[in-house]
Amino acid sequence: MNILLVYPEFPDTFWSFKHALKFVQKKAASPPLGLLTVAALLPQEWSKRLIDLNVTKLKCEELAWADYVFISGMVLQRDAVRRILRQCQEVGVKTVAGGPLFTGEYEQFPEVTHFVLNEAELTLPEFLRDLEQGSPKRVYTTTEFPDIRQTPTPMWELLDFSKYASMSLQFSRGCPFHCDFCNVTALFGHRCRIKTVSQILAELDRIYSLGWRDSIFFVDDNFIGNKRFLKQELLPALIQWQKGKVGITFHTEASINLADDEELMNMMSNAGFDQVFIGIETPDEVSLAECSKKQNRNRNLLDDVRRIQRARLQVQGGFIVGFDNDTPAVFQRQIDFIQSSGIVTAMVGLLQAIPGTRLYERLKQEGRVVGEVTGDNVNGTTNILPTMGLDALHEGYRELLAHIYSPKQYYRRVKTFLKNYEPPRFEAPLTLARFIVFLRSVLRLGIIGRERVHYWRLMLWTGIRRPRLFPLAISMAIYGHHFRRICELYVTR
């Protein structure tokens, strides 16, 4: 059996980093971990190929080779998925689809031959048994959650590592919290299911043996969902694994209560973690209560962020505007918080109601859901009718993003961060490739860029005051270029 695993292209978005990737001559930020895991779940004797349309093109001869095309995708990739399905229909190849997009709206894709929904560890084996017997059903779904301690090592050997800026692996699924706008618990449940230490080390050994020497993203929605296991088992093992390794750093996602545990933060830093994405959402207590973000309430979020930064962990933040309790004053409050915190990567989106969430059910009953979600956090769209009115929401949002990603304010925020941040324990070695990236930044940002005055001020200040952070300052200047392009494309037009 010949299986072609196809991953759809992402549009130009906040997290695509397409404009930043050009500086490092990479095609995509990270590979399709879900499809690599599915490949490992398929029979070993089957022939498998991966086509990631973010790094290459899908050719007719590859479709002609395939007995089945396996497709996965997220809501953000909906249009790209439809293009792939049209190509498959044209050549008559059968398709098997799964992943968050199809799990949430498979009825909208009548052209798909088979759906293997929810988590593949449970639904894929059933499909394979029926396929072997010659009677596969069209839809496979489940309400159960698998034991991911049985999940095999993804087939990273299907990748061309040179095309990616980072690798990905997963330690856990599920989240103990229940924010009403988030569909993580609907997809993966409240209980934090974890892999074993031996699984994680085997995955890391495999990635390292294939030559990877850069960043690895733990894609968990809340990495610290099981703090006891982290501190007693996984992090000590990662600290030991890092000995003798060169170039490997980790980043992940976590909840703000990470700031309460100094031991945990220090262990993460010692293990090689240098970045963590945190859903801060809003500095407004009433709006936090509205969306059931209980872990963010009754605390000084600004102090929490600074505490994490001082623990050598860069905080990337998620923010939302458009809650029912938001007034026009929220936009300036968000600006003040973001600028004061030194959160350089600040993803600010309009509130959207995702099917399967409590927010969606409530607003649907109120008649306030007016379309489908786009999956894009920073394109200035929403599928709900906000209480403050769409015009006020859009205008305030445009002004917010235009402010925080203007060259003056962005570089000011970078400097605020660098003042508070302790240099990471795992520093990337100086290589010719990294020096070339610096030269590209000089040309694009320091010579012809409209931010060139701010660029050189930051480079000079960092070189004198925080020289160990000079490579990080360069990276952040490059990220800023990407973020501004996104804002100009979607918001400030």
> Does residue 279 share a domain with residue 173?
yes
The pLDDT assigned to 422 comes to: 86
The answer, yes or no, to whether residue 343 has pLDDT greater than 80, is: yes
- Return phi, psi of residue 178, to 5°: -145, 65
The DSSP letter of residue 178 is -
Residue at 151 is within a domain: no
SS (H, E, C) 56-104: CCCCHHHHHHCCEEEEECCHHHHHHHHHHHHHHHHHCCEEEEECHHHHH
Q: Using N-to-C axis directions, what is the helix angle for 470-490 and 452-465, rounded to 10°? A: 160
Give the type of residue at 81. Answer: V
pLDDT tens, position by position, 189-242: 988 999 999 999 999 999 999 999 999 999 999 999 999 999 999 999 999 999
What predicted TM-score, i.e. pTM, was given to this entire model? 0.95
9-67 confidence digits (pLDDT tens): 999 999 999 999 999 999 999 999 999 999 999 999 999 999 999 999 999 999 999 99
Q: Which of 105, 140, 175 is the last residue of a domain?
A: 140
Both 375 and 346 in one domain: the answer is yes
The predicted-structure confidence for 272-321, as pLDDT tens digits, reads as follows 999 999 999 999 999 999 999 999 999 999 999 999 999 999 999 999 99
Same-domain pairing of 436 and 298: no
Assign 426 a pLDDT band (cuts: 50, 70, 90): confident
Grade residue 185 by pLDDT with cuts at 50, 70 and 90.
confident
The pLDDT-based confidence of 491 (bands split at 50, 70, 90) is low
Q: Residue 246 — pLDDT band, cuts 50, 70, 90?
A: confident
pLDDT at residue 430, as a whole number? 74
Give 467 or 433, the one with higher predicted confidence.
467
Can you spell out the DSSP letters for 1-41? Answer: -EEEEEEPPP-S-TTT-HHHHHHHT-SBSS--HHHHHHHHH
Name which of 381, 465, 363, 483 is nearest 423 in CA terms. Answer: 465
Same domain? For 250 and 186 the reply is yes
Q: What is the pLDDT of residues 94-132, one digit of tens each?
A: 999 999 999 999 999 999 999 999 999 999 999 999 999
Q: For residue 225, report the phi and psi dihedrals to the nearest 5 degrees.
A: -65, -25
Same domain, 203 and 88: no
The CATH number of the domain holding residue 224 is 3.20.20.70
The pLDDT of residue 493 is above 60 = no
b/e per residue, 361-395, with b = 16+ CB within 10 A? eebeeeeebeebbbbbbbbbebbbebebeeeebbe
b/e for 181-220, b at 16 or more Cβ within 10 A? bbbbbbbbbeebbbbbbebbeebbebbbeeebebbbbbbb
Q: If pLDDT is split at 50, 70 and 90, which confidence band does 490 have?
A: low
Residue 157 lies in a domain: no
Give the residue-averaged pLDDT of 235-264. Answer: 96
Listed residues 140, 175, 198: the one ending a domain? 140
> What is the domain range of residue 129?
2-140
Specify the amino acid at residue 384: I
Closest CA to 469 of 244, 314, 250: 314
Q: Which residues contact 389 (CB under 8 A, 6 or more apart)?
A: none
Average pLDDT, the chain: 95
Strand residue runs (E) in 248-296: 249-254, 273-281
Residue 136 forms part of a structural domain: yes
Q: What are phi and psi of 73, to 5 degrees?
A: -175, 165
On whether both 378 and 454 belong to a single domain, the answer is: no
pLDDT bracket for residue 156 (50, 70, 90): very high
**Whole-number pLDDT of residue 408:** 97
Answer yes or no: do 114 and 178 share one domain: no
> pLDDT exceeding 90 applies to what percent of the chain?
92
Cross-strand pairs, 3: 48, 68
**Domain identity same for 372 and 262:** yes
The residue among 351, 330, 454, 455 whose CA lies nearest residue 400 is: 330
Amino acid in the structure at residue 366: E
Domain boundary among 90, 125, 140: 140
409 and 458 belong to one structural domain: no
Domain count, the chain: 3
Residue 152 falls within a domain, yes or no?
A: no
Same domain for 123 and 264, yes or no, is no
